[in-house]
Structure formats: C-alpha cells, structure tokens
Amino acid sequence: MELLERRGQLALLRITCEAGTYIRKLLYDMGEIMGPGATMIELRRTRVDHFEESTCGLVTMHELADAHARWREDGDASRLMRMVRPVEDALAGIKSAVIRDSAVDAMCHGAQLAVPGVLRVSPNLHSGDTVGIYTQKGEAVALATSLMGAQEIVDATRGHAFRTSRIIMRPGTYPKQWRTRAVAETVGDGGESA
C-alpha cells in the first residue's frame, strides 16, 4: 500500500493486491481502527494480471459502448476493433501446446487431444498444469489440463495428452480432417478419431 497524495481528509492510495481483495472493506476497516471511519470515493484498477493501463490502452465502458453504437449504426468497426483485444492476450501467461491443423476442428467438436496430434509443448509443462492449446498460426483453440509432463508427451506414441476444459475456437474455422467412427473421442495424427 502506498500513499500517493493527501489533501485534508482525502487520501489517494495505490494498493497492489491479489484477486478477491475487497479494497472497500480494507479502507472501511482502516477507518474503524484509526477512529473517525473511512469510505472509498472511487476505485480505479490500473492493472489486472499482465494487463496494465499504461500499456494495454484500457478503455471505459462508455467508450466501448460508443464504439459499439457506431458499428451498429454505420458499420464502422475501426474504433471497436482497436478496443477489443484478442483472447490470446489473456492466455499469454500460461503454458502452451501447439497442435496439428488436422486436429483443430475435431477438438472444436469436443474430441480429446491425443499425443500424435501434439507438435510441441512448453518445456516446463507438468501433469496438472493449465495449458492454452494453439494452432500452428498461434490461434487459441482451447484451454486444457495437461495429463502428462512435457517429456512424457515427447516420449509417448499414444494416449491422451490433455483433458479439454474449454473450447475457444468456433467449429468449422479449420477444415474437417477427421473421420467419424462408432465412438469419436480422440484426435491424433492425420485427424483420425477413435
């Protein structure tokens, strides 16, 4: 906690905290301890995870609503596109796996990723890690939990490498390169399902 400015009974503070910290309650409790009481007038988040106000071009909800209205009214999406960040920016802090193009659409349709469909993974990947699954072009396909460590995936020739928790990419974005069998559950090399 850092005191940036003080004018009479008003104070401007910078607080670095973890997610889930209730700043309003923190200030209320500080006021109770000091005696006269305290309340928060305004809260401004300047950083969330790796997104910082100074480098990410954060916008207000009003600015976003204006850009959306302009797009709806006259089809001009330029302002809106400058404000909306790609999902890949939000996943930048987690480990990653790159998959074959032949496995992308099958994953988007709910198939689990098998080892032959994996091209490369973060070298420090461990079983249980949350992983961003990407195309060879760097497009986010899904979020998953690793079922193996990096070296296990490299050494393995079969089996599931990840358990998918969230599909991000829309099905049909990549061409279908997989066949349907009686039970289609695994995506591997050549787009086969088994």
Selection from 137, 103, 132, 99 nearest residue 118 by Cα? 99
DSSP 99-157: E-HHHHHHHHTTPEEBGGGEEEE-TT--TT-EEEEE-TTS-EEEEEEESS-HHHHHH-S
Provide the residue type at 111 as one letter. Answer: A
Give the pLDDT of the chain (194 residues) as one tens digit per residue. Answer: 999 999 988 889 999 888 888 999 999 998 899 888 888 888 888 877 767 777 667 788 898 999 999 999 999 998 888 888 888 888 888 999 999 999 999 999 988 888 999 999 999 999 999 999 999 999 999 999 999 999 999 999 899 999 999 999 999 888 887 666 654 455 555 544 33
Contacts of 101 (CB under 8 A, 6+ apart): 135, 136, 174, 177
In the chain, CATH 2.30.130.10 sits at 89-191
pTM above 0.75, yes or no: no
Decide the pairing of beta strands 95-99 and 130-134: parallel
CATH superfamily of 89-191: PUA domain (2.30.130.10)
